[in-house]
Chain A
Amino acid sequence: MRTERQFSRPIGRLQVDVDAIAECRALAADISAPVDELARSRTTVSLERACLRLVGVDGVEGEGTEAVPIPNRVVDEVRSAVGLECGVLIPFFHAVESGCGDIPSAARAVSSGECRPEWPEGLDLDLATERARKEAGIAVDLIASAATQRAEVIERVGDAPKPWLYLIVATGNIHEDIPQAVAAARNGCDIIAVIRSTGQSLLDYVPYGATTDGFAGTYATQENFRLMRAALDEVGEELGRYIRLTNYASGLCMPEIAAMAAMERLDMMLNDCMYGIIFRDINMQRTFVDQNFSRMVHSLAGIIINTGEDNYLTTANAVDSAHTVLASQFLNERLALSAGLRAEQMGLGHAFEIDPSVPDQIMLEIAHAQLVRECFPDAPLKYMPPTKHMTGNIFQGFLYDGMFNLVGALTGQDIILLGMLTEGIHTPFLSDRDLALENAGYVFGGATALAGELRFEAGGLVERRANQVLEETRQMLHKVADIGMFAAIEAGMFADTVRTPEGGKGLDGVIERAGGYVNPIEDELKTRVGVK
């Protein structure tokens, strides 16, 4: 099984046009400037709810399928009483300061209609602001403590050697997920991702409590996060290897899920700047505002984001569209920097999805993977296994997964999402995960150190292909820069999908900020992660 692996990131092995890389970065900065401006000028219902959650507003009103989360109720009440143009925190802390009780009691009082939110004036405004600033400081300390606690646990139990092997569990029932995750960790897995229930990304609230009724995945709830975290900490202690936990900060509740992830010390979050817009038809303003706030939370909590570029290749030809992956990575990198994320927190995604019948396809995969490695030398790259050409022929599929692992090893990919031989047939059997770990253990045990010894032939196929993709990326970013990010999305330049600034789901939850917008949590986050 696992052997001592000498992991290194092979950089400088491929002669790529460094000027073109620099130009791509400069273009990405130009393109993303209006997105940063959008995030400064708007807020969203989910961003405001995330702030309430961070100061301790939680729970639900009502029962069963009728239950509405208290953060939703409070935001809705504040919105209808005084609007959200100046943020939810001042009206909420005015309720706290004016005798509605402590934070949970005040939240319940606002939620039930017992206490009607008001915008305070004079001394009341000073009191509410002072309290909001104090609680914001505590909330932001809580986010930061995720990073320090993680470091402490890793220091005590030991870290997993790279590459980190990443597996998904998805039973729908958190109590079933836990033994599967623990079994996977014992068999060599380093990262567990709990995939979400189908359609959760389109819910405008976060379900509550431990859940057992997800469909093709398990609901992301704070209690589910807590339960899985505790189980992985326990098995990590037993194994002497910290087991990382991943979930999805995407969809309509991206900021709230980011906040919950920080509070429960999750380690990695799927968090892409454009995925929701393109693939889920979520409104672009909503997504751009939400991703900025989420990423500041992730930055301070020491969470590694995983971006979703693999999706571009599952919906398009992986050779023709290779440059769309790299273009999106440059944009994801730039928008991550704008939110204070460091390079070592950028799990930029890409995938092994070339049609196996294409000549030289393994060499092309190496060219793409090595190009990404050269462009982002400090990023913990996340490499995604074949899915599109997994046909149900599990025997051939197992070989594809082996070749994927080999390309991952040769090009120094940090995070390896393990392919399943039964991909596309059913959610993985327990044995599918075990076989995937055996496959990975064999390949990474046998070839990881080879990354440090490989050189590519000057002018050879791999080098030529890498430079071709880089050039196509440069051209695409030029085109996007010429018309601007929003117009480019509207013109269908990403994944051939047309999305408009006013279209998609969740626009009604986007609110223009007034001059007097107050959000001490965001202010404090910006200060700590170094964002202006």
Chain B
Amino acid sequence: MPAIKPYGDSTDDGLVQVSFTLPIGEPERARQSALKFAESMGLQRAQVQHMKAMGPDFTFFVVYGASIHTVDPDDIEIDERDFPELTSQEINRMIRETLKRQLVVVGACTGTDAHTVGLDAILSMKGYAGDKGLEYFGEMRVLNLGSQVTPEEVVTVVRDEQADAVLISQVVTQRDAHIVHLEQVRDALEAAGLRDRVVLIGGGPRFSAEQAAELGYDRIFGRATKPSDVASYLTWAVTERAKAHEPEAAPAS
């Protein structure tokens, strides 16, 4: 495939529309500044189609121009995530069809950390940044144990409620306490013989996804994780696991 350019109304015209605000009020200087800025963005023959003062110190612009840049789609490497992003309808349907019951999620902040802000953002109905929490999904039953929970309490609830998934959140840490707390839960689940029965997830601003293997977790979520990321992953992981454990209905071809 050849390199391509934005398409306005004919091939390779390169036309793009941008809108932005500059922190300047004086009209003619503002307009010239916007054009110069557009040029720096790689826009040729830029035109300010609309400008509006917002108070004495700011001006808003709508600018059109022809981009000098091209892109070769064949050069793009697609970084596929290993689990699908699911809509709320898909999540509820997959759980209903595969598990034929509610998916049970246990969430807790273990150790000394009393900060449940991350856990609540993921679990509570309200969610975070416009993204609904796991409680929103009718096919999920969420048990939010809150903060300062012991690993033993997590194990008890997992066993009593036959949980499918466990979420451990850590916000504030000192001397790698967040790592230790996650390891404690993993060890407690292993000791109780429950580790393989649950999808185990850790999360918090100090973690990165690469830490999953060393911590013995199925998945680690770091900063800027949205509830829908967790919901999609959980649903995918739990239903995949359930399918793998199902007695085979018919031999595959």
A interface residue numbers (CB < 8 A to B): 182-183, 186-187, 198-199, 202, 216, 278-281, 311, 314-315, 387, 423-424, 429-431, 434-435, 495-497, 505
Contact A430 B58 (CB under 8 A): yes
Q: A202-B116, A202-B120, A496-B138 are in contact. Are A280 and B126 (CB under 8 A)?
A: yes
Contact A279 B125 (CB under 8 A): yes
Contact A431 B117 (CB under 8 A): no
Q: A199-B117, A281-B124 are in contact. Are A315 and B55 (CB under 8 A)?
A: no
Closest B residue, CB atoms, query A316: B136
Closest B residue, CB atoms, query A429: B21
Question: What 1/0 mask marks residues of chain B from 46 to 78 whose CB sits below 8 Å from any chain A CB?
Answer: 000000101100101000000000000000000
Closest A residue, CB atoms, query B19: A431
Contact B125 A183 (CB under 8 A): no
B249 CB–A CB distance under 8 Å: no
Contact A183 B126 (CB under 8 A): no
B interface residue numbers (CB < 8 A to A): 19-21, 52, 54-55, 58, 60, 116-117, 120-121, 124-126, 128-130, 132, 135-136, 138, 144, 146
Closest B residue, CB atoms, query A183: B55
Contact A430 B136 (CB under 8 A): no
Bound-complex Cα distance A199 to B120 (A): 8
CB distance from B88 to the nearest CB of A (A): 10
CB distance from A185 to the nearest CB of B (A): 10
* CB-defined A-B contacts under 8 Å, sample of 22: A182-B55, A183-B54, A187-B54, A187-B55, A198-B117, A198-B121, A278-B125, A279-B124, A279-B125, A279-B126, A280-B126, A281-B124, A387-B130, A424-B130, A430-B60, A431-B21, A431-B54, A431-B60, A434-B60, A435-B60, A497-B125, A505-B116
CB distance from A182 to the nearest CB of B (A): 8
Q: A202-B117, A429-B21 are in contact. Are A434 and B54 (CB under 8 A)?
A: yes
CB distance from B118 to the nearest CB of A (A): 9
Q: A183-B54, A315-B125 are in contact. Are A281 and B120 (CB under 8 A)?
A: yes
Contacts of A278 in B (CB 8 A): 125
Contacts of B54 in A (CB 8 A): 183, 187, 430-431, 434
Contact B55 A186 (CB under 8 A): yes
Contacts of A431 in B (CB 8 A): 19-21, 54, 60
Bound-complex Cα distance A429 to B128 (A): 19
Contacts of B124 in A (CB 8 A): 279-281
Q: A183-B55, A187-B54 are in contact. Are A430 and B121 (CB under 8 A)?
A: no
Bound-complex Cα distance A526 to B126 (A): 33
Q: A186-B55, A198-B117, A202-B120 are in contact. Are A315 and B136 (CB under 8 A)?
A: yes
Contacts of A279 in B (CB 8 A): 124-126
Contacts of A182 in B (CB 8 A): 55
Bound-complex Cα distance A198 to B125 (A): 14
CB distance from B6 to the nearest CB of A (A): 17
Shortest beta-carbon contacts, A-B, top 7: A199-B117, A279-B126, A431-B60, A183-B55, A431-B21, A434-B54, A424-B130
Contact A505 B132 (CB under 8 A): no
Contacts of A423 in B (CB 8 A): 130
Bound-complex Cα distance A311 to B126 (A): 8
Contacts of A281 in B (CB 8 A): 120, 124, 144
Contacts of A199 in B (CB 8 A): 117, 120-121
Contacts of B125 in A (CB 8 A): 278-279, 315, 495, 497
Interface centre among A280, A315, A496 (most CB of B within 10 A): A315
CB distance from A314 to the nearest CB of B (A): 8
Closest A residue, CB atoms, query B131: A424
CB distance from B181 to the nearest CB of A (A): 20
Bound-complex Cα distance A279 to B144 (A): 13
Q: A199-B120, A280-B120 are in contact. Are A315 and B132 (CB under 8 A)?
A: yes
Bound-complex Cα distance A101 to B9 (A): 79
Contacts of B132 in A (CB 8 A): 314-315
Closest A residue, CB atoms, query B147: A505
Contacts of A183 in B (CB 8 A): 54-55, 58
Contacts of B126 in A (CB 8 A): 279-280, 311
Interface centre among B21, B124, B126 (most CB of A within 10 A): B126
Closest B residue, CB atoms, query A216: B129
Bound-complex Cα distance A58 to B172 (A): 27
Bound-complex Cα distance A281 to B144 (A): 9
Bound-complex Cα distance A314 to B129 (A): 12
Knowing that A434-B52, A497-B135 touch, tell me 17 more A-B residue pairs with CB under 8 angstroms: A182-B55, A183-B58, A186-B55, A187-B54, A187-B55, A198-B121, A199-B121, A202-B117, A280-B120, A280-B124, A311-B126, A314-B132, A430-B58, A430-B60, A431-B19, A434-B54, A434-B60
Interface centre among A186, A279, A431, A495 (most CB of B within 10 A): A431
Bound-complex Cα distance A424 to B226 (A): 12
Bound-complex Cα distance A217 to B251 (A): 56
Bound-complex Cα distance A424 to B60 (A): 21
Closest B residue, CB atoms, query A497: B125
Bound-complex Cα distance A199 to B118 (A): 9
Contacts of B128 in A (CB 8 A): 198
Closest A residue, CB atoms, query B123: A281
Contacts of A424 in B (CB 8 A): 130
Contacts of A186 in B (CB 8 A): 55
Contacts of A434 in B (CB 8 A): 52, 54, 60
Bound-complex Cα distance A332 to B22 (A): 44
Contacts of B121 in A (CB 8 A): 198-199
Bound-complex Cα distance A186 to B57 (A): 12
Contacts of A198 in B (CB 8 A): 117, 121, 128
CB distance from A302 to the nearest CB of B (A): 29
Contacts of A202 in B (CB 8 A): 116-117, 120
CB distance from A180 to the nearest CB of B (A): 10
Bound-complex Cα distance A524 to B135 (A): 41
Closest B residue, CB atoms, query A185: B55
CB distance from A220 to the nearest CB of B (A): 16
CB distance from A353 to the nearest CB of B (A): 12
Contacts of B52 in A (CB 8 A): 434
CB distance from A199 to the nearest CB of B (A): 4
Bound-complex Cα distance A253 to B146 (A): 18
Bound-complex Cα distance A198 to B127 (A): 11
Bound-complex Cα distance A479 to B210 (A): 51
Bound-complex Cα distance A505 to B144 (A): 11
Bound-complex Cα distance A351 to B19 (A): 29
CB distance from A201 to the nearest CB of B (A): 9
Contacts of A505 in B (CB 8 A): 116, 146
Bound-complex Cα distance A381 to B86 (A): 36
Closest A residue, CB atoms, query B126: A279
Closest B residue, CB atoms, query A434: B54
CB distance from A460 to the nearest CB of B (A): 32
Bound-complex Cα distance A314 to B54 (A): 32
Contacts of A429 in B (CB 8 A): 21
Interface centre among B54, B124, B132 (most CB of A within 10 A): B54
CB distance from B60 to the nearest CB of A (A): 4
CB distance from A14 to the nearest CB of B (A): 32
CB distance from B120 to the nearest CB of A (A): 6
Interface centre among B19, B55, B136 (most CB of A within 10 A): B55
